[in-house]
Amino acid sequence: MALVGKQAPAFKAKAVVNGGEIVADFSLADYKGKHVILFFYPKDFTFVCPTELHAFQEKLAEFEKRNCAVIACSTDTEQSHWGWLQVDKAAGGIKGVTYPIVADTNKMISMNYDVLNGEYFADEQGNLNASAELIAYRALFLIDKDGVVQHQLINNLSLGRNVDEALRMLDALIFTQENGEVCPANWNAGKSGMSATHDGVAKYLAAN
């Protein structure tokens, strides 16, 4: 399901914020007026996941100076998030991560964003079964100040993301909103955009 151009599904859930504080009613609605990078990851205490969470932390100041919040989410419990945050980076933990980590324990957030790996179903005896472990794919959503999804990316479980690319997409969104121009292929902050007209495309291609 493509969410681009649609309102990001609202949610309220438990989360760990500021590196260790558990809150009961964390809400995406609290971030209206800010851009948001909401990213899902499969599982606490795993292997690719801590590399991603630390990579977002390393770039957190870059997102924040662009008025963008970073929020992580997985189907683990808030207690699991808290425990992982106590483990040093050198031991595979995520100690030092300060942005919110949402506990999608009932998996409804992942389902509403259509990023839940596996399907569950009832067999002929009425027993509940699942086709795979019900955890989130590596998904990322760029949500604008009005709560509209402007960009989404979904990777399979083994494929880590590029945080610089998330930052580039945020820059592109800000550029288009502020300048009324579009961003061509391989655009980066500091480069010129182009007007969405035949003349604009022709001028850009001629110059590049």
pLDDT tens-digit profile of 38-90?
999 999 999 999 999 999 999 999 999 999 999 999 999 999 999 999 999 99
Q: pLDDT band at 199, cuts 50/70/90?
A: confident
pLDDT at 1 over 80: no
Taking the C-alpha atoms of residue 13 and residue 24, their distance in angstroms, rounded to an integer, is 6
CATH 3.40.30.10 residue spans of the chain: 12-160
Question: What pLDDT was estimated at residue 201?
Answer: 86
Q: pLDDT band at 124, cuts 50/70/90?
A: confident
Task: Give 38: exposed, middle or buried? Use CB within 10 Å, 0-12, 13-18, 19+.
Answer: buried
pLDDT in tens, 139-175: 999 999 999 999 999 999 999 999 999 999 999 999 9
Question: Nearest 5°: phi and psi at 121?
Answer: -160, 160
Residues in the chain: 208
Taking the C-alpha atoms of residue 165 and residue 33, their distance in angstroms, rounded to an integer, is 22
pLDDT at 203 over 90: no
Report percent pLDDT > 90 for the chain: 83
Average pLDDT estimate for 116-128: 83
pTM: predicted TM-score of the whole model, two decimal places: 0.94
Question: What pLDDT was estimated at residue 123?
Answer: 80
Nearest to 11 by CA among 72, 102, 79: 102
Helix (H, G, I), strand (E, B) or coil at 37: strand
Nearest to 38 by CA among 169, 132, 191, 186: 169
Amino acid in the structure at residue 37: I
Cβ–Cβ < 8 Å for 42, 155: no
The CATH number of domain 12-160, selected from 3.30.70.890, 3.30.70.20, 3.40.30.10, 3.40.50.850:
3.40.30.10
Question: What pLDDT was estimated at residue 130?
Answer: 86
Active site residues: 49
Question: What pLDDT was estimated at residue 126?
Answer: 81
Question: What pLDDT was estimated at residue 140?
Answer: 98
